Structure formats: structure tokens, C-alpha cells
């Protein structure tokens, strides 16, 4: 099951063919003790495609994201990241996949407190052994892109919430992942700042052809996405 | 760069070390300096004690090094001194061109001030100075003897003249021609200072006093005796060649007359070292304990650091940093702490050693042999040991926090992650139970015999170590039980919250309890042992010392610095009109089948009657063996040579091998090598000596002992004459001195425990930051906040005190009935200082509350 990802963006609202995507989830099941949270989730995301994942609180959105980045083991089913099956990987391979193929944006930013904005962005590059010059150039470009070059040398403590999230965005895409997972990235921000962050997400995803799975409660946020899927009772509801 | 550095894990770890770890250090300089200081202090105390005890005990042979270069071999009698009547037999040996023989006599000389107070103990060494002047090595070193002011012929054989060290001259303001006052064997002497020895470049030991051989013999009342003959090989190149030295040794042995033995000089130095081996080993164990508690502090401190960085570690996990890289980063941090701390500790060690060396020298003087202090030196071995121990223990301490960091969940699930995943094994009893079991097994081990006759209760020490740590790990459960019991009666939200957290018994709570339990157990155990020792000695004193006056030689040193009371002085003292009976003790070291022991001479009849003893086996309770001299033996002697039920033992005396057989066993807390006493007349024949070590005077009823004492003092300024009360004060003073190290250790232990508790509370509260933030948001008042934290601290302290006291009682039993019996051979009365236990408990609980409330308040302030 291999695929060469195309690097051209699909047309909005025109989901590409679902077999060779950035992410394919098949019949994923996950339970905590006796409680089954995910009862067979199917989801495909094409390269460069942006998908909004909505659903009531407690429906399992965060759980699904955690399974997709390999932090929570799936009980059954398949998770393919660019064709590679996550459920068959050992811990080291999972870590590598997280480093190289997935970017993660948190609701509460999680920047590393002792690193400056620039170093935070550079950090994933360092993890995969990117040469220092390349790392610096790329981080500089990304910081430029998210409009944070002027605060590049500041520590996270000195940044506002919106600024931190923009740095976190830059960090998430530092290693050009195929897929960015974002769990309510605007949840901690006011609507104006939240909108800026969303627009950035859209631009970056377009420019770098990165697929995005965006968990949100806000239908308005879903506007940057090509399509919206709903998680209901642990399943992806039929599109309405 | 080495290749491993480019492997991903190392690359990531180094990146984290520079980008994260060191920056955290920069942000919290104080805390990390503190951790480094703890390592430094631990390494410093280990090295300091090593260096100090070496400087305080290893000065034997210094005189040889200073005056004649190193002696190559010694000729000695098998036991006791060499008689001058044996010297003609040495004539063939002394006519050899390859070596020089140097007869030596050595004894204590107590310098006395103008008003008659003993000032310092000097070592009077009598040498054949003509022989010294001929030594090739001596001439090399151009010592002051050779200078014009000391022409041999002027003074050899004349009035006693001595050479003193230039440092002593500077200290006591003595010049050439001045007189040096002092006491030997109960008699006062005036010696004339003939010259100074040594200078800044060629220092000699300060306590060195050199006199011509006949003069020294006269001063020491040992005419006709010498202690040993030292030999120096003339050809210095020969010393470098083992084959040549072996050949010389063979020739010496062949020429050696009957009744004298050959010994390599190194052997004798080793023997002195053996004698204090147990003492130094105890100190080493104590300093290792100090390091171990230091490691506990480092563990707590590093753990606090890990907890406070938890969010960051979680983010790193989410970014794909692997477990092993995180572990490695944390271990590198420990390595860095250990290295910096150890380097600093080497310096601290030298400082501590200079401070402790005189204290140790005093103890060695009092307990073992006359010694003086040499300069503190740091050897390569010291450096290596210091670094190895400091780094080793830091890595060991870092292990748990590093494991914890490694298992930190990624940020996505951190919020609902379990507490301290790296510590969960603390919640399970298996490690604790296994350690306690291993400890019990260690009790079965017999004591390890050390060279020189001391015994090391290795099994006892191991049992204590395993038992304490095992029980400490188990005692977290006490906390849970206490908290659950209190929950039923608790009122108030703050208290209930605190108790619910304690009842949950998190791993960190348990770790805090465990650390404190170790300290409490150690302190209660030690307090019991010292207390029991004191009570036993007091009881022994009450029974044993019923005479009115006690007479011994006046000396600035301890038991070892004794020459013996000259017979005519003794005669004059014991035949005074007020004296009804004198219990006179003669004593001499003798050879035993393993190591050495003491043989005493007393009035055996009086010992069975009017001289009271605590008898372990009453006189006559043991049947004497045939063909052996009947003796009373001390408990230590009986245990050491397995004579509790009677039997026979052969001792090496100056007049050959002699058998003694016990007819009674008495308690004696004065001598850990054991002693046997036989009839004084027999002793004099066997030992060929007649100087008593002390005598106790029983006076006529109705006599005022102090009047007699004062009269005797006037008549015999060279004697120490004490009444029973003064003797008791003196003996207890020596006792306190011996246990000063122990009390210091108790203090260190408690301080460490308390600091450890504070650090533990720090990480506990740091870990609960979420709870505190929530509490603050829902308007939990500041006071309740402090109360909750205080109750947590107090609860931990209470649980630790209860368990610790229980463990401490077991330790007390172990110390008194196993370790003490095995290493000293005497039994003690078990004494429980209940008041001290209760006081410790109360202060711990109060401290726990305060520490909790303060750290809690600090954390609350830190929340924004
Ligand atoms: N570690 C866990 N143990 C037990 N149950 C869990 C665990 N994690 C999540 N759950 C349960 O799984 C369900 C889904 O949780 P999840 O966090 O995925 O919901 P969500 O859709 O992200 O909700 P929200 O929109 O509120 O963030 C919930 O009912 C939650 O209680
Ligand atoms: Mg969620």
C-alpha cells in the first residue's frame, strides 16, 4: 500500500479519490475500559485537503486525534499516514512518524518555555537532523510567514496567546509534514485573533500542500476547510 | 566529534541539554547551586574524613623519613623490648658494610608548663647519635645535627639534652640552652634544648623529641632496653632492586641471633594501619552514609526539577522526542551535577580535613596509640575516589527522576496522566519486602576478622542498611493508614482535602516518607546506642570504681601515651599511712593467635574479694585448664578468643609463649582488644618489666580523700591523682569525645531529612499545580491553602516518625546486640530514651506543618 503523494492542491469542495490520501482511517475502534469511545471510524484525508472534524463534547474527537498521531493505541482498525500503517509500528517508528510526518497544534500552544520563538520553530528540524543553516533559513521563512519575525528572539512567556499560537503553527509545519492535526487551535483565542490563526493555517496548508484535520466546535472555523465531517456516537456521520 | 554524538539520540540529548537544561539552570541558579553544593559536601565529607584520618594515624615512620630517610627493615623482639643483653649477639650483623644499624627507644614525654599543667604530648626518641651521624642518607639531608653548635663529643653521655622540632620551638618559645619541662613515668624532668631540627624545606613532626639513647633510657626508666633496631641500606640504588633487597634480607636473616625477628619496615607501618582499621572503616561507613543521604537530597531536588518541567517534557514527547533521548538528557544533567559537585568537593574535603584532623588525632591518641598530625595531602586515589563516588551517586540519584521523565506522557494526554509514572513501583510493596528479607538473611553472616585483631560486623551493617531502606519503602503505607483513620473525624474543607490527598498515597508522598524514615531510624538507633553505652558505663563505674583515689602517670595523651609508673614512685605512693590497700594494675600488649591483646598483672585474690567487678562469669565459675596460668579475662577477650565457657589460650610474651586459662570473666568497657589479668608476680616475670600503669588507693575509713589527694599531688607532681568523681568526669569526657562524630552525624542526618522533606513537598505541590490553580479559581482562601499544605507536611512527618521510630528500635537492637557485640565484644544495657523519641516526633510534626504551609504558600504565589 504505497502512494506517491501529489503536491498540487485539490479544488475546494471536491474531495479527491480516497484510496491514496495523506490519512486513511479504516474501521478504527478505541475503548477506555468498558466504555467504547470510537466504534469503527472511517475517514480519508487527501494530500492538501482540509477537513473540519466537529461533534458534541465527549464524542471522541480528541481521542481520534490521539490515535491518529499514535499517542493512544487503537484497539482495532487501520490508520494509514501517507500509506504507512500506524497500528503496525513499534514505539520508535511511531516517534519517527510523529517527528517527520505529522504536525500538531494544541489548544494551549505548548511551546517549550526555555526556547525562544525561533528555537521553538527550529526544534523539530533539529530532531530530524536538519543542517543548522537550512534549519535557520526555514524557521526564519516560517516566522516571516506567520508574521512573528519581529519577536523571534523572545521567550514564550513574553508572547501573547495569539502570538504563541502562530509560533506553534510555524513549529508544526517546520518539517513539512503531510498532515497537521489541530485540536481546537483557536479555543483559547478571541475571535479576531482566532481568525488570523485560521487564515494562516489555510495559507500554509495551501502553500505547502499540507493536509489538515481541524477539530472545532465553531462552524465558522470550518469555512477554511474543504469539507466537514461529524463525529457522532463514535462514528463519522453520513454527510448531510 | 565522536561518532556516537551524531547518532540521533545523542544529538537530541545534547541539543536538549544546551537549549533546555542549562537554561533552566540559568533561570533557577540558586536551586542548582544548592544541588551542586550538596554533592560537594558529600564528596567533601568522604574525602575529608579519609584524608584527615590518614594524616592523624599514618605519621608512624615520619621520623625515619625526616631523619634518616626511610628505614628498610627492623629488628625486634617477638614481644616487648629488646634487652641490651641480647645486643652482643648482633655483633656479626653490625659489622656488615652494606647497612647501618640504628637502635631506637621510643616513649611518651608530656611537656608541662611552668605551673605544672600538662601541655602537649611529645614523642621522646632515643637514638645512638653517633650512628645517626654516620648514616649516608642522613648526611645527604644535611640535618642540623651536623652543624657546629652540636659537636657530638661535647654532650654524648652528659646531662639530658634534646633536639626539638623548629615548629615546637616556635610554638613554645624555646631557644637553644632553654630547659624543657615534662613528666615521664610519674617523675618530672628538666631537659636542655640542644638544637632544632628541620626547617620549612625539611619539616619534621612537631612532636618529635630526640635524645641520645642512654639519656632517653634513663628518662623513660628503661635502662638496658631498646624498642627496635632500624636498619638502613647504604646503597640507595639497591633499594630500587627487589632482587638485591631480597638478597640482603636473606643475609640479615642468616645473621640474626636467636630471640630476635626480622621485619620489613613497611610491614610495621601496615600493622599500625591495621590497628586503626576498624576505626577508620567506621568513619568511612559514616561518610558513605552521609553521601547516601546526600544522594537522597539530589534525588529529591532533581525530581522537583523534573516535575516542574513536566509540561515541557510532555511537549517534547508530542514532538516525537523518544523516551531514550529524554532519559539520556536527564542522566547527562546528573552527570554534569556530579562532575561539578565532585570537583568542588575535592576542595571542600581538604578544608574539612584540616578542620577535623586534630579531633581525629585526639581520638586516635585516646584509643589506640600516640600519634601526631601530618600535613593534609590529596593523593591521586583521593581524587579518583572523590570523583567516582560523587559522579556515581549523582547518577544513581538521577535515575528515578530520569525514569520518571522518560515515562512522561505526551502533551495530548498529560492532563489526565497518572501521577509520577516513573515512581509507581514505590506503591507496590515488593522492593521493600525483598530488602527487609535480604537484611534478615545478612544477620546470619559472621563478623569479618580484620588484620590486627579487630572485627568488622559486616553482616550487621548490611542488615541495618537493607532493613532500613526496605522498611522505609514500606512505610508509605503507614501514611495511608493514618490518613484514612483521620478522614473519619476530620472537619473543614482544607483538612479533608489534605487527608484525601494523603490517603491516596501517591508515589511522591511515599518517597518523602521514606527519606524521613531513614533519618528518624538512624537518629533513634544511634541515640539508643549512645544512651545504652553511657548507662552501661555508668553502671560499670558505680560497681568497679569504689576506691577513693586513682593514681596514674601525668600525660597529655590518652591510654596509649603511657610509659608506666616508676617502681620507686609506686612504692612511695601505695605505702602512705592513710592507704589500707592499693589495687595496682600492670599491663602490656602481648601477641595473640590473631592480632594483639593485653595481658595485665593484678592481685588476683583481691580481685575475687574486695575489688568489685561486674562479673559475667563469677571467679571460680570456670574450671581452669591444666598447665596454664589462671586468669580473669574481660568479656571482649572471652568473645574474641572463644573462651566464654573456659579453655586455654597461648599468648606471645617477651619471655616466650605462655598459656593462660580463664577462671572468671569481668565486664570492661575500656579496651576493645580485650585483656586477661594474671597474678602480678607472674606478670613481672613474663613481661620482664615492673612499671605499673595505675593504682587505686583504698583509704582508712574516716580519712578525707581530698586531703590525701592534695598531699600526694604536692609530693608527686609527675603523677595524676584523682578522686572517684574526677575520674568519672574524665572517663565520661573521653566517652563524649568518642561519640562526637556520632552526634555530628545525627545532626547531619536530621538536617538532611528536613531539607529532603521540604524538597519533597516542593515537588509534591509542583505536581499538583493543576489542583492549586483550580482551587484558586474557585476562591479557596489563602489561609485554607496553607492549612491544606501544612496538614500534608505534618501528616508525612507523623507517619515517618511512627515508622521511623519502629525501625529505629529494631536498629537499636541490632546495634546493641549484634554490631556492638561483634565489633567490641561487650554487651550493653539497652536503654530507651523515650523522652528524646517523643521530642523528636513533636518537633518533626511541627516542622512538617511549617514546611508544608510555607512551600504551599510559595506555590500559590507562583500561580498566576
Ligand atoms: N483516558 C481516558 N480514560 C477513560 N475515558 C476517557 C479517556 N479519555 C477520554 N475518555 C472518554 O472518551 C470520551 C471522548 O473523549 P474525548 O476527549 O475524545 O472527547 P472530545 O470529543 O474531544 O470532547 P471535547 O469536545 O469536550 O474536547 C469521553 O467520554 C471521555 O470521558
Ligand atoms: Mg477534545
Q: Look at A224-228, B53-57, B60-64, B288-292 and tell me which has the smallest mean pLDDT.
A: B60-64
Domain extent listing, chain A = 37-236
Q: What is the pTM of this model?
A: 0.68
Q: Hey, how many other C-beta atoms are within 10 angstroms of the C-beta on A76?
A: 13
Task: Say which residue the cell 568518642 belongs to.
Answer: B738
Residue-wise DSSP of B661-693 = EEEEEE---S-TT-EEEEEHHHHHHHHT---BS
For the segment B603-618, what is each residue's pLDDT rounded down to a tens digit?
998 888 888 888 989 9
Instruction: State mean pLDDT over B408-421.
Output: 62
Q: Do A100 and B412 touch (CB under 8 A)?
A: no
Chain B nearest-CA residue for A62: B412
d(CA B108, CA B237): 35
Residues B93 and B232 in one domain: yes
pLDDT at position B813 over 80: yes
pLDDT at position A149 over 80: yes
Look at residues B297, B288, B280 and name the one whose alpha carbon lies nearest to residue B356.
Answer: B280
pLDDT at position B706 over 80: yes
Q: Do B15 and A119 touch (CB under 8 A)?
A: no
Which of B318, B320, B411 is the closest to A96 by Cβ?
B320
Q: Do A72 and B413 touch (CB under 8 A)?
A: yes
Sign (positive or negative) of CA dihedral A99, A104, A110, A112: positive
Confirm whether B266 is domain-assigned.
Answer: no
CB B760 within 8 A of CB B511: yes
- Angle (CA) B22 B28 B31, round 5°: 105
Smallest CA–CA distance, residue B412 to chain A, in Å, is 7
Domain boundary among B685, B716, B747: B716
Which of B19, B315, B320 is the closest to A110 by Cβ?
B315
Question: Measured in whole angstroms, how far is the alpha carbon of residue A186 from the centre of its chain?
Answer: 13
Residues B738 and B701 in one domain: no
Domain count, chain B: 4
Residues B712 and B855 in one domain: no
Residue B71: the pLDDT is: 66
pLDDT at position A173 over 60: yes
Instruction: State mean pLDDT over B489-515.
Output: 83
Confidence of residue B791 (pLDDT cuts 50, 70, 90): very high
Residues B389 and B516 in one domain: no
- Ligand 1, residue A217: give the atom nearest the CA: 25
Smallest CA–CA distance, residue A11 to chain B, in Å, is 31
Residues B182 and B292 in one domain: no
Confidence of residue B398 (pLDDT cuts 50, 70, 90): confident
Collapsed DSSP state (helix, strand, coil) of residue A70 = coil
Return the beta strands (E) in B476-531 as ranges. none
Residues B633 and B527 in one domain: no
- Angle (CA) B641 B644 B648, round 5°: 55
B545 φ, ψ (degrees, to nearest 5)? -105, 85
Residues B58 and B82 in one domain: no
**H or E stretch covering A232:** strand A227-232
Residues B105 and B254 in one domain: yes
pLDDT at position B804 over 50: yes
Domain boundary among B676, B692, B716: B716
Residues B340 and B457 in one domain: no
Task: Look at ligand 1, atom 10, and give the residue with the nearest C-alpha.
Answer: A32
* Residues in chain B closer than 8 A to A124 (CB atoms): 319-320
CB B593 within 8 A of CB B625: no
Residue B416: the pLDDT is: 44
Q: Do A66 and B322 touch (CB under 8 A)?
A: no
Question: Measured in whole angstroms, how far is the alpha carbon of residue B663 from the centre of its chain?
Answer: 34
Mean per-residue pLDDT of chain A: 86
Which of B8, B320, B411 is the closest to A106 by Cβ?
B411
Chain A nearest-CA residue for B20: A114
Exposed, middle or buried: residue B704 (CB in 10 Å: 0-12, 13-18, 19+)?
Answer: exposed
> Residue B180 forms beta bridges with which residues?
B191
Look at residues B286, B387, B353 and name the one whose alpha carbon lies nearest to residue B51.
Answer: B353
pLDDT at position A216 over 70: yes
CB B827 within 8 A of CB B821: yes
Confidence of residue B199 (pLDDT cuts 50, 70, 90): low
Q: Determine contact: A32 vs chain B, CB below 8 A.
A: no
- Ligand 1, residue A65: give the atom nearest the CA: 18
Residue A11: the pLDDT is: 41
The count of CB pairs under 8 A between chains A and B is 72
Confidence of residue B505 (pLDDT cuts 50, 70, 90): confident
Strands A76-81 and A23-32: antiparallel
CB B565 within 8 A of CB B784: no
Residue A106: the pLDDT is: 86
For the segment B130-152, what is each residue's pLDDT rounded down to a tens digit?
666 655 544 444 444 444 334 44
Collapsed DSSP state (helix, strand, coil) of residue B273 = helix
Measured in residues, chain A has a length of 240
For the segment B564-576, what is each residue's pLDDT rounded down to a tens digit?
888 888 999 998 8
Confirm whether B596 is domain-assigned.
Answer: yes
Instruction: State mean pLDDT over A99-114.
Output: 86
CB B454 within 8 A of CB B823: yes
**H or E stretch covering B165:** strand B161-165
Residue B790: the pLDDT is: 94
Exposed, middle or buried: residue B251 (CB in 10 Å: 0-12, 13-18, 19+)?
Answer: middle
Residues B46 and B192 in one domain: no
Which of A72, A127, A129 is the closest to B321 by Cβ?
A127
Joined grid coordinates for residue B562: 603511657
Torsion angle defined by CA atoms of residues B15, B21, B23 and B28, in that order, rounded to the nearest 10 degrees: 180
d(CA A102, CA A212): 10
Joined grid coordinates for residue B738: 568518642
Smallest CA–CA distance, residue B8 to chain A, in Å, is 7
Collapsed DSSP state (helix, strand, coil) of residue B721 = strand
Range of the domain at B326: 1-66+272-416
For the segment B251-270, what is each residue's pLDDT rounded down to a tens digit?
888 888 877 888 776 666 55
pLDDT at position B378 over 80: no
d(CA B445, CA A8): 78
CB B722 within 8 A of CB B550: yes
Collapsed DSSP state (helix, strand, coil) of residue B190 = strand
Q: Which ligand is nearest to the CA of A68?
A: 1
d(CA B559, CA B362): 11
Confirm whether B835 is domain-assigned.
Answer: yes
- Which ipTM was obtained for this model? 0.74
Report CA-CA distances (Å) from B352 to B44, B105, B387, B516.
7, 35, 17, 26
Joined grid coordinates for residue B103: 637502635
Confirm whether B73 is domain-assigned.
Answer: no
Report CA-CA distances (Å) from A85 to A74, A89, B320.
12, 7, 17
Which residues form the pocket of ligand 1, taking CB atoms under 6 Å from any ligand atom?
Answer: A 32, 37, 55, 57-63; B 416
Max intra-chain CA distance, chain B:
101
Domain boundary among B357, B386, B416: B416
Mutate which of A29, A31, A34, A58 for ligand 1 pocket (most atoms within 8 A of beta carbon): A58
Instruction: State mean pLDDT over B369-395.
Output: 77
Residue B358: the pLDDT is: 65
Residues B597 and B477 in one domain: no
Collapsed DSSP state (helix, strand, coil) of residue B393 = helix
Confirm whether B426 is domain-assigned.
Answer: no
Q: Do B412 and A104 touch (CB under 8 A)?
A: yes
* Residues in chain B closer than 8 A to A97 (CB atoms): 320
Collapsed DSSP state (helix, strand, coil) of residue B167 = helix
d(CA B612, CA B592): 27
Residue B333: the pLDDT is: 92
Report CA-CA distances (Å) from B309 to A23, B14, B24, B306, B314.
33, 17, 9, 5, 9
Return the residue in B7, B320, B406 with the most chain A beta carbons within 10 A, the one to mutate for interface testing: B320
Confirm whether B421 is domain-assigned.
Answer: no
Instruction: State mean pLDDT over A161-178.
Output: 92
pLDDT at position B702 over 70: yes
Q: Hey, how many other C-beta atoms are within 10 angstroms of the C-beta on B2?
A: 7
Q: Look at A22-36, A153-167, B364-378, B621-635 and tell me which has the smallest mean pLDDT.
A: B364-378
Residues B27 and B110 in one domain: no
For the segment A78-105, what is each residue's pLDDT rounded down to a tens digit?
999 988 999 999 888 888 888 889 998 9
Distance B658 CA to ligand 2 centre (A): 92
Residue B453: the pLDDT is: 61
d(CA A37, CA B19): 39
Interface subset of B 701-720, CB within 8 angstroms of A: none
Collapsed DSSP state (helix, strand, coil) of residue B143 = coil
Instruction: State mean pLDDT over B811-831.
Output: 83
Q: Determine contact: B417 vs chain A, CB below 8 A.
A: no
Collapsed DSSP state (helix, strand, coil) of residue B642 = coil
Confidence of residue A170 (pLDDT cuts 50, 70, 90): very high
Confirm whether B707 is domain-assigned.
Answer: yes
Classify A37-236 by CATH class.
alpha beta
* Residues in chain B closer than 8 A to A169 (CB atoms): none
Mean per-residue pLDDT of chain B: 80
Smallest CA–CA distance, residue A124 to chain B, in Å, is 7
Distance A74 CA to ligand 1 centre (A): 14
Spell out the alpha helix ranges (H) of B716-781. Answer: 724-738, 740-767, 769-777
- Angle (CA) B76 B77 B79, round 5°: 120
Task: Say which residue the cell 586516635 belongs to.
Answer: B364
Q: Hey, how many other C-beta atoms are within 10 angstroms of the C-beta on A2?
A: 7
Look at residues B582, B57, B634 and name the one whose alpha carbon lies nearest to residue B356.
Answer: B57
For the segment B519-541, what is each residue's pLDDT rounded down to a tens digit?
888 888 888 888 888 888 888 88
Amino acid at each position: 500500500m504505497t502512494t506517491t503523494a501529489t503536491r498540487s492542491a485539490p479544488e475546494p469542495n471536491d474531495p479527491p479519490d480516497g484510496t491514496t490520501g495523506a490519512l486513511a482511517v479504516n474501521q478504527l475502534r478505541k475503548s477506555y475500559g468498558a466504555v467504547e469511545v470510537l466504534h469503527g471510524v472511517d475517514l480519508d484525508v487527501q494530500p492538501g485537503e482540509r477537513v473540519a472534524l466537529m461533534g458534541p463534547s465527549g464524542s471522541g474527537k480528541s481521542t481520534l486525534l490521539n490515535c491518529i498521531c499514535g499517542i493512544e493505541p487503537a484497539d482495532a482498525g487501520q490508520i494509514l499516514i501517507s500509506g504507512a500503517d500506524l497500528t503496525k509500528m513499534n514505539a520508535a517508528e511511531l516517534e519517527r512518524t510523529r517527528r517527520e510526518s505529522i504536525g500538531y497544534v494544541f489548544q494551549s500552544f505548548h511551546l517549550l518555555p526555555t526556547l525562544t520563538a525561533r528555537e521553538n520553530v527550529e526544534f523539530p528540524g533539529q530532531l530530524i537532523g536538519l543542517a543548522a543553516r537550512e534549519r535557520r533559513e526555514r524557521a526564519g521563512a516560517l516566522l516571516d510567514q506567520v508574521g512573528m519575525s519581529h519577536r523571534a528572539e523572545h521567550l514564550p512567556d513574553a508572547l501573547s496567546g495569539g502570538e504563541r499560537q502562530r509560533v506553534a503553527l510555524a513549529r508544526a509545519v517546520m518539517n513539512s509534514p503531510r498532515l497537521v492535526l489541530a485540536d481546537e487551535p483557536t479555543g483559547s483565542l478571541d475571535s479576531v485573533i482566532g481568525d488570523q490563526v485560521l487564515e494562516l493555517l489555510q495559507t500554509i496548508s495551501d502553500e505547502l500542500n499540507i493536509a489538515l484535520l481541524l477539530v472545532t466546535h465553531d462552524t465558522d472555523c470550518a469555512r477554511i476547510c474543504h469539507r466537514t465531517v461529524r463525529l457522532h456516537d463514535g462514528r463519522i456521520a453520513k454527510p448531510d | 566529534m565522536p561518532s556516537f554524538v551524531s547518532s540521533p539520540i545523542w544529538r537530541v540529548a545534547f541539543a536538549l541539554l544546551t537549549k533546555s537544561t542549562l537554561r533552566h539552570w540559568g533561570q533557577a541558579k540558586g536551586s542548582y547551586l544548592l544541588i551542586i553544593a550538596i554533592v560537594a559536601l558529600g564528596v567533601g565529607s568522604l574525602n575529608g574524613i579519609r584524608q584527615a584520618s590518614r594524616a592523624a594515624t599514618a605519621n608512624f615512620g615520619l621520623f625515619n623519613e625526616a631523619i634518616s630517610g626511610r628505614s628498610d627493615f627492623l629488628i625486634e623482639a617477638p614481644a616487648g623490648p629488646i634487652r641490651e643483653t641480647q645486643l652482643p649477639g648482633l655483633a656479626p650483623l653490625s659489622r656488615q658494610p652494606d647497612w647501618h644499624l640504628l637502635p631506637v627507644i621510643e616513649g611518651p614525654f608530656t611537656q608541662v608548663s611552668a605551673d605544672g599543667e600538662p601541655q602537649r604530648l611529645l614523642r621522646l626518641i632515643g637514638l645512638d647519635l653517633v650512628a645517626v651521624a654516620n648514616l649516608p642518607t642522613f648526611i645527604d639531608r644535611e640535618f642540623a645535627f651536623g652543624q657546629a653548635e652540636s659537636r657530638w663529643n661535647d654532650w654524648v653521655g652528659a646531662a639530658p639534652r634534646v633536639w626539638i622540632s623548629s615548629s615546637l620551638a616556635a610554638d613554645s618559645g624555646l631557644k637553644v640552652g632553654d630547659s624543657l619541662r615534662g613528666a615521664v613515668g610519674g617523675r618530672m624532668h628538666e631537659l636542655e634544648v640542644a638544637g632544632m631540627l628541620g626547617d620549612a624545606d625539611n619539616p619534621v613532626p612537631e612532636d618529635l623529641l630526640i635524645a641520645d639513647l642512654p639519656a632517653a633510657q634513663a628518662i623513660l626508666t628503661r635502662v638496658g632496653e631498646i624498642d627496635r633496631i632500624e636498619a638502613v641500606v647504604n646503597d640507595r640504588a639497591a633499594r630500587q632492586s627487589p632482587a638485591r633487597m631480597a638478597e640482603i634480607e636473606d643475609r640479615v636473616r642468616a645473621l640474626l641471633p636467636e630471640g630476635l625477628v626480622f621485619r620489613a619496615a613497611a610491614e610495621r607501618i601496615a600493622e599500625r594501619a591495621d590497628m586503626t582499621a576498624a576505626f577508620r572503616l567506621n568513619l568511612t561507613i559514616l561518610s558513605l552514609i552521609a553521601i547516601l543521604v546526600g544522594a537522597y537530597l539530589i534525588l529529591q531536588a532533581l525530581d522537583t526539577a523534573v516535575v516542574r518541567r513536566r509540561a515541557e517534557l510532555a511537549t517534547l514527547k508530542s514532538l516525537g522526542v523518544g523516551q531514550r533521548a529524554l532519559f539520556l538528557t536527564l542522566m547527562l544533567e546528573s552527570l554534569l551535577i556530579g562532575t561539578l559537585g565532585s570537583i568542588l568537593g575535592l576542595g571542600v574535603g581538604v578544608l574539612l580535613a584540616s578542620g577535623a584532623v586534630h579531633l581525629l588525632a585526639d581520638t586516635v591518641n585516646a584509643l589506640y596509640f600516640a600519634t601526631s598530625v601530618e600535613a593534609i595531602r590529596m593523593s591521586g586515589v583521593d581524587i579518583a575516589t572523590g570523583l567516582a563516588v560523587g559522579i556515581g551517586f549523582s547518577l544513581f540519584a538521577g535515575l528515578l527522576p530520569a525514569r520518571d521523565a522518560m515515562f512522561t506522557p505526551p502533551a495530548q494526554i498529560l492532563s489526565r496522566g497518572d501521577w509520577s509514572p516513573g515512581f509507581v513501583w514505590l506503591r507496590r510493596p515488593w522492593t521493600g519486602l525483598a530488602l527487609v528479607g535480604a537484611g534478615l538473611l545478612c544477620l546470619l553472616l559472621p563478623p569479618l576478622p580484620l588484620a590486627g585483631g579487630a572485627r568488622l560486623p559486616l553482616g550487621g551493617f548490611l542488615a541495618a542498611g537493607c532493613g532500613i531502606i526496605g522498611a522505609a519503602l514500606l512505610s508509605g503505607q503507614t501514611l495511608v493508614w493514618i490518613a484514612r483513620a483521620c478522614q473519619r473525624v476530620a472537619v473543614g474543607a482544607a483538612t479533608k482535602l489534605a487527608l484525601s490527598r494523603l490517603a491516596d498515597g501517591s508515589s511522591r508522598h511515599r518517597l518523602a516518607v521514606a527519606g524521613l524514615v531513614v533519618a528518624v531510624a538512624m537518629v533513634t538507633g544511634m541515640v539508643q546506642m549512645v544512651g545504652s553505652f553511657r548507662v552501661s558505663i555508668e553502671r560499670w563505674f558505680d560497681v568497679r570504681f569504689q576506691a577513693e583515689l586513682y593514681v596514674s602517670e601525668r600525660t597529655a595523651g590518652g591510654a596509649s601515651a603511657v610509659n608506666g609508673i616508676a617502681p620507686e614512685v609506686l612504692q612511695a605512693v601505695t605505702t602512705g599511712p592513710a592507704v589500707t590497700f592499693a589495687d595496682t594494675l600492670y599491663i602490656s600488649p602481648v601477641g595473640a593467635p590473631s592480632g594483639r591483646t593485653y595481658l595485665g598483672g593484678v592481685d588476683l585474690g583481691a580481685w575475687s574479694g574486695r575489688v568489685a567487678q561486674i562479673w559475667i562469669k563469677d571467679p571460680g565459675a570456670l574450671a581452669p585448664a591444666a598447665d596454664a596460668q589462671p586468669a580473669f579475662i574481660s568479656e571482649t577477650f572471652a568473645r574474641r578468643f572463644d573462651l566464654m565457657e573456659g579453655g586455654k589460650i597461648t599468648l606471645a610474651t617477651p619471655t616466650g609463649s605462655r598459656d593462660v586459662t580463664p577462671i572468671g570473666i569481668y565486664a570492661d568497657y575500656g579496651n576493645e582488644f580485650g585483656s586477661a589479668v594474671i597474678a602480678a608476680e607472674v606478670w613481672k616475670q613474663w613481661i620482664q618489666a615492673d612499671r605499673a600503669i595505675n593504682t587505686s588507693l583504698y583509704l582508712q575509713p574516716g580519712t578525707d580523700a581530698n586531703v590525701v589527694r592534695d598531699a600526694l599531688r604536692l609530693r608527686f607532681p609527675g603523677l595524676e591523682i584523682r578522686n572517684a568523681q574526677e575520674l568519672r568526669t574524665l572517663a565520661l569526657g573521653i566517652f563524649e569525645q568518642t561519640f562526637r562524630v556520632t552526634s555530628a552525624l545525627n545532626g547531619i542526618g536530621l538536617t538532611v531529612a528536613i531539607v529532603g522533606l521540604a524538597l519533597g513537598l516542593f515537588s509534591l505541590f509542583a505536581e499538583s499545580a493543576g489542583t492549586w490553580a483550580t482551587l484558586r479559581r474557585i476562591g479557596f482562601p489563602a489561609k485554607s491553602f496553607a492549612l491544606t499544605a501544612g496538614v500534608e507536611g505534618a501528616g508525612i512527618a507523623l507517619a515517618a516518625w511512627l515508622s521511623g521510630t519502629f525501625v529505629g528500635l529494631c536498629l537499636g537492637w541490632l546495634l546493641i546486640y549484634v554490631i556492638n557485640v561483634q565489633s567490641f565484644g561487650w554487651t550493653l544495657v539497652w536503654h530507651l530514651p523515650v523522652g528524646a523519641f517523643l521530642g523528636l516526633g513533636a518537633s518533626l510534626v511541627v516542622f512538617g506543618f511549617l514546611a508544608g504551609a510555607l512551600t504551599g504558600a510559595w506555590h500559590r504565589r507562583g500561580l498566576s
